[in-house]
Amino acid sequence: MAKSTGKKTTKKTAAPKAKPAKASVKKAATKTNVKKAAAPKKKVAPKPAAASNIKKTVKAEATKTKAKTVSSRKVVEVISPTKKVRKVKGYSKKELESLKDIILVKRDEIIEQLQSLKEQMMDPTTGQYVNESSPYSLHMAEQGTDAQEREKLYLWAQRENKFLGYLEDALQRIENGTYGICIECIDEPQNLCATCPLIPIERLKAVPHTQHCLQIKQKMQSK
């Protein structure tokens, strides 16, 4: 009898494949997104305005103010040196008021100086003005010195009185609205300054009794 050889066949079972951890990856991604969303955003500071823009704004405001001031000026009638009546746009009421304050301060200063000069020219014993014939000093040399001092005081007082008269005239022109108009440019503006026929306000502040702009005054002195 033939021997039967029975071979046992053993099936190898394949190892299960490892599935990718999709769920864990998704969770990790979700956590990352949550963290990113939760982080506060940094505030960006506004950029400062450029210097050119600031300059333009300031210039525009200054131009508006100047235009407003010019528009507030009134047309006044002025008698020119040729005795003709001319219509000129003078300074505004607000500008005239500020210039009037300067004149009043200067007038008060002149009045105080004149009072001081008056006291120096008075004889303390008689209460009268000292003249050349007054026996102010007994010594001959001292009499000569005293006479020179008295002469200086009189000249100074005359000059201050003259200046006071100019200031009073300027105050009257302010009341009339004709203050600050160059009398040489009423008939025919020479346009030697930017505000012709008006005298520049800077000059009026420095020399409040003047009736000529600086260029006209220099032109008159050079003749």
CATH number, domain of 217, equals 1.20.120.910
CB 167 within 8 A of CB 108: no
If you average pLDDT over residues 187-192, what whole number do you get? Answer: 88
Q: Which residues of 59-85 are buried (b: 16+ CB within 10 A; e: fewer)?
A: eeeeeeeeeeeeeebeebebebeeeee
Residues in the chain: 223
116 found inside a domain: yes
- Name the residue type at position 150: R
Q: 131 in a domain, yes or no?
A: yes
Is residue 96 in some structural domain? Answer: yes
Q: Would residue 145 count as lying in a domain?
A: yes
- What is the structure's pLDDT at 10? 47
- Tell whether 54 is covered by a domain: no
Percent share of the chain, pLDDT over 70: 57
Owner of token pair 């009185």: 161
Banded model confidence at residue 49, pLDDT cuts 50, 70, 90? low
State the total domains in the chain. 1
Residue 99 falls within a domain, yes or no?
Answer: yes
Quick one: pLDDT at residue 4?
A: 47
Is 14 part of any domain?
Answer: no
- Average pLDDT (21-36) is 49
Q: Give the per-residue pLDDT at 166.
A: 96
- pLDDT, one tens digit per residue, over 126-177 is 656 665 445 444 455 555 566 778 788 889 999 999 999 999 999 999 998 8
Task: Decide if 18 is inside a domain.
Answer: no
pLDDT above 50: residue 3: no
Residue range(s) defining the domain that contains residue 103? 67-222
pLDDT over threshold 60, residue 77? yes
